[in-house]
Each structure stands twice: as C-alpha cells, then as structure tokens.
Amino acid sequence: MCGICGIINGRPNRRIDRDRLTAMTCALEHRGPDDFGEWIDGRSGLAMRRLSVIDLFRGHQPMLNEDKTLILVFNGEIYNYQSIRSELEKKGHTFRTLSDTEVILRAYEEWGDDCLHHFNGMFAFAIYDVELDRLLLARDRVGVKPLFYTVKDGAIAFASELDSLLQSGMVPGRLNPTAIDAYFTFLYVPAPDTIFRGVHKLRPGEKLVFERGELRRERYWRLPAHIDTSWTLESASEQFVELFSEALKLQCISDVPLGAFLSGGMDSSSIVGMLSLVSDTPIKTFSIGFDDPDANELEFARVVAKHFGTEHTEEIVKPELMFEAGDLSVRFGEPFADSSAVPTWLVSRLAKHQVTVALSGDGGDELFAGYSWMHMTRRVREYSRTPKPIRTAVHTGLRMMPHRPRYQKLRRFSGDSFRGELSAFRRRHTCLEQDVRTRLYAPELIEGVAAADIDRFSDHAKDLAHLSPDDRMLHLDFLMYLPDDILTKVDRMSMAHGLEARVPLLDHRIVEFAASLPFHLKYRNGRSKVLLKHALRDLLPPELMRQRKRGFAVPIHRWMRGSLLPQFEEYVLGDSSRCGVFLQRSAIRHLLEQHVQLREDYGHALWAIFMFEQWLRYAESIPGVTLSL
C-alpha cells in the first residue's frame, strides 16, 4: 500500500523540477511510512511512499524493468498476483521479487493495457514507457484506491491525494463552483470533479493514457447490467458463499498482522464470520460505538465478537472527539462532510495499534439493497398508487401540522409521491435541496453554478435509463455514493494512520455476480439483503439477523444542538470565518435557528458548513491556492 505521484512533461525541451516532485512525495508520507523512492529522467519523474505489506524488503518502488524502459509506481494490492505470476513464468518471464508490484510490471510487458483485465485487486498505478513517451494511469474497477490528475501546458501531474498534487505547481488554485454545489447537495464531490478547477479524479474502472502530450481516457470496465433470471435463492446462496470464501482467502494474504473492523452490522459481521472459518488463530476485531442508543451497534458487535471468539477492542465516540474535524478536513484534500468519517478515523487509529491490515464490510448495502433511502423510495412508489385526490388531502393536512422534524419527514414522504420516482430517490440522497442552497449561496457562487450547468447524478441516471427502477437505484449508489463517499472515507481515514483497509465484498467477481441477480433475491417483502441472510443463516448469530439497520451514523443532529454548537458559532459565525465569501451568513443563522428550535433537522447541513469552514482555513495556507471562484 502506497502513495504515488509523478509529473510527465509532454514537451521535450522542458525539465522536471526535482524539488516539486519531492514535495509531492513528502505530502504522501502518511500513506507510506516504510519506504521512499523516486525516478527522474530529465523531463519526467515518478515517486512513491510505501507501506510494506507483501515482500517487505524487495518491493521497492519505483520499479523498473531490466533495460529501464518501463517505470512503475503502484498503490494497492493485486490479490491474485500469485496465479498471474505462475502464468507469466510459463510464458518465460523471470521475477526478481515476490511482490505483486513486479507482477504488474511483467503483466504489462506481456499484455500491455489489457493487463488490467487480469488483475483482481484494489489499485491505482502509473506505468511510464520511456521509449514511447507514454504514461498509463489506471484505477481499480470499483474505485477503492484514489487517483487525481491535472494537465497544464503540455504536462500531466498525478497523485494519490489532492494535497500531493497541489505541490506540483500545476494546479490553478481557483475553486470549482460545480464541486461546491455538489458538496452541499451530497456531502461529497462526485468524480470526475474536484474542488479545484482543472483537477480531476480518475473514475473507477477507468484508464488514462498520456502519450507525447496527448491525453485520452476510457473505461476498461463497467458494472454489468444484465439480469440472469435463472438464479434461485439456493443456487445464488451457494455461489455467493463460494465467491465470498475465495475473496477472503485472497485478501488474507499478508506478511504483516491482519484484523477486521466490526460495526455489529450484517456486512462486517459476515466478514468476521467467514474469516473465522479460514483463520487458524483468533481474529482481532475493532469497534466504535456512540453514547446514543439509536446509533450504537456495540451490543451487536460484542455478540459477534463473543460468538466467534475474537480478540476484541472497542472505543466510544464522544462529542468532544468531533473537534478533530479540523485534522480530518486536511486528510480529504477537499470538503467532505460524511460525519461517519470521525468514527472511521478513530477505529483506524484503534486498529493500527495492533495490525497493519484491516478488513472492512463496505459494499454489501450497494450490492444487496441494504440502504433505507432505497427502501423508502419503494414505499413512496406504493403510496403513489393511492388516488391523487386522497394524497392531496393528506398532504394538505400535513402542511397544517407543527414544524417539527418528525412532521417534516411525513410531509416530505407525502411530497415525494407527487415527484417522479427518480426525483424522490435523489431527494433522499440530498442534504440541502436546491431552493435552500440558492438562499444559502452568495451571488457569485449562484452564477458560477448556473454557468457550469453540470449534474453528475443526472448524467449517471441517463446512462441507466434502460434498467428497472430498483436496479437503477442500486447502480446509482454503486457509481456515486460508494466510490465518492464510502470508499473515499475509508481510504483517507485508514491511510491517515498508515493502515491498509481491504474490502472483500467488493471483489469484482462478487460485484458482477450481485449485478446479475434478480432484485427479489436482494429485497423482498420489506426485508433487505435476502441473499446474504439466507446464505449465512447457519454462520451468524440469530439475533444479528433480527436487528434493524442502523449504519455507522453519528448522532450529529443532537450534538449540533448541544456540545458542538459553541464551536460551530465560533468558527462559522465568528469574525474570523472564511465561508462568508461563498455563503450568506444570514442564511446560515436561519438554518441554525431552525435546527436548534427543533423546527427542522439540519444537523448534517450544519456539519457540512462547519467542515467547509475548516477546509477553507486549511486551504488558504497552501501556496498557489486562491479562495475564489
């Protein structure tokens, strides 16, 4: 596991600035505290920081082939590297190391760009061909590992994190209004956009080629959209257990200590349960809980830990720990407001004391219909069949009810029945709706958003128009929320502590299998994750099957009315606030008053504003960054 970066000048008369490349590499030190390396050849350079996990002493990067015409830097793990190595050895390739890094290099020698189709893993890598003056950047199918890039004046710079890319001197430093609007809509910035103009994320399953100053991008993998109606619950359960077991065996390969995150939910418990079947020693598990009974899953984590005899460690998140938010804003490189980043940060720190690799249960909700917003959208669909005059009368009555969060939820549910289904689903993903955002934004930001006219959610939805409404919702979560929120959070928070997080449920074979299943094998009669529960019914504790989904949610709505309120007022509404350049302070005060007075639940919106302020304070200290549009 590493942090990678590089600069390739497409014009032969330009020289690379070694100090720039070194600064980029230093900004990635937390991702790879064990090793450092760089390669520079006149006008181009690649570098890395390494967290040693496989072949601890011989996997040094950048890795070169024998004649030094191919240079590779790699972040991630190729889980099936041993089988690929055997295949390549039969083809005449010889190896100097036992690392998966060298397997990528030899696979590229053999298959060129098509090597991507051979890899099972999480990765972002760069291969530079000196003779062809050709750079290949690639990101894994699902988007577990990140990769950012920018192109300027015939040169390309890339890095694992935005902070590193900023050190290249190639980022204009002006903020992207589309990204700010997306952030206050979804609480994250969807790919390919970033908070900076002219800086992009490589999408999951995408490769980029920069050859002699010319750039082209293409998708080498897409989530399959074909449903196989021949699957039954029994046949699918048997296939899932086989794929899941194989994925875990591959992802347990490590030369350093390995453990697992355990939230107490279905997915992480499944990881621990299956891991117990293939492990000869007690599993180390790590959990985070909250001082809120509606958000706390520790009781279930303890049940699972006891059931499988794990060596269990846990910690309680208290409101004062949210004050670490300023540190977290730095780790993402751009505004990010999923409040569960804080417990993810803490559980990663907890795990790092004992292990270097931790398995995570992420992906199960997207693959097997676990999210409540999808379930509620389906209930809206059912309610929409009620005659319109009756729904109109109900909605009129609800509008007369007191302004309290619980009545607001009912009003929104009722209002959703007058929307299209896709619009209702989108609203449930939305933190601040457009009319509220318009009142919140300063005039210049409103103009910038309107001028750009970019909507990533609608772009994805158009591409998925051929799917059923249920499968379209699953695909949208997989394409946006999973890589740009969930996997971004897990990567940055784990790597901040030099911890590698692996996600067995996102083995691409499981992903493709899940995409082929009829929807009724995922959700039926109000029950989510039907297949998982059936397939693992004899493995997991029965009480786990009966619990309602709670998620890894921080009780931010309550804390924003209590212990976090003074800090919010000081940072966001105080004299030293920076967000007033982009947001209307009067609108912020209105949101805060509505929330504190229990008229609305704006907890997540206020947290988003708070994190935006924290990020702006950090960003203004970066040379070349201008806090303007």
Residues with a catalytic annotation lie at 2
Query: What is the residue whose two structure tokens read 């990101």?
Result: 139
**What φ, ψ does residue 155 adopt, rounded to 5°?**
-130, 155
Amino acid at site 568 = F
The sign of the CA dihedral 49, 54, 56, 61 is negative
Q: Is 129 helix (H, G, I), strand (E, B) or coil?
A: strand
Amino acid at site 261 = F
Closest by CA to 509, choosing from 145, 260, 142, 77, is 142
Contact 313, 302 (CB under 8 A): no
The C-alpha R_g of the chain, in whole angstroms, comes to 24
Query: What is the number of other CB atoms lying within 10 angstroms of the CB of residue 506?
Result: 28
Which residues does residue 38 pair with via DSSP β-bridges, in sequence order? 47
Which parts of 272-421 are beta strand (E)?
284-290, 311-317, 357-359
Closest by CA to 373, choosing from 521, 186, 504, is 186
Q: How many residues does the chain have?
A: 629
Q: Distance between CA atoms of 585 and 369, rounded to whole angstroms?
A: 39
User: 439-443 long-range CB contacts below 8 Å, 24 or more apart?
Assistant: 439/584, 439/587, 439/590, 440/184, 440/583, 440/584, 440/587, 440/588, 440/591, 441/181, 441/582, 441/583, 441/584, 442/580, 442/581, 442/582, 442/583, 442/584
Instruction: Tell me, letter by letter, the H, E, C secondary structure of 454-497.
Output: CCHHHHHHHHCCCCCHHHHHHHHHHHHHHHHHHHHHHHHHHHCC
Closest by CA to 121, choosing from 100, 135, 107, 92, is 100
Query: Residue 66 burial by CB count (10 A; 0-12/13-18/19+): exposed, middle or buried?
Result: exposed
At residue 29's C-alpha, the angle toward residues 28 and 31, to 5°, is 70
Contacts of 532 (CB under 8 A, 6+ apart): 240, 266, 267, 270, 364, 368
Query: What is the residue whose two structure tokens read 């970033």?
Result: 194
Q: Both tokens of residue 337?
A: 């407001």
Contact 9, 155 (CB under 8 A): yes
Contact 45, 7 (CB under 8 A): yes
Q: Both tokens of residue 463?
A: 């591409």
Query: What is the residue whose two structure tokens read 């030094």?
Result: 68
Q: Distance between CA atoms of 76 and 208, rounded to whole angstroms?
A: 18
Q: Distance between CA atoms of 106 and 118, rounded to whole angstroms?
A: 12
Q: Both tokens of residue 572?
A: 């966001």
Helices (H), 30-124: 81-90, 100-111
In DSSP notation, 23-40 reads: HHHHTTGGG-BSEEEEEE
Q: Both tokens of residue 600?
A: 């609305």
**What φ, ψ does residue 256 adopt, rounded to 5°?**
-135, 165
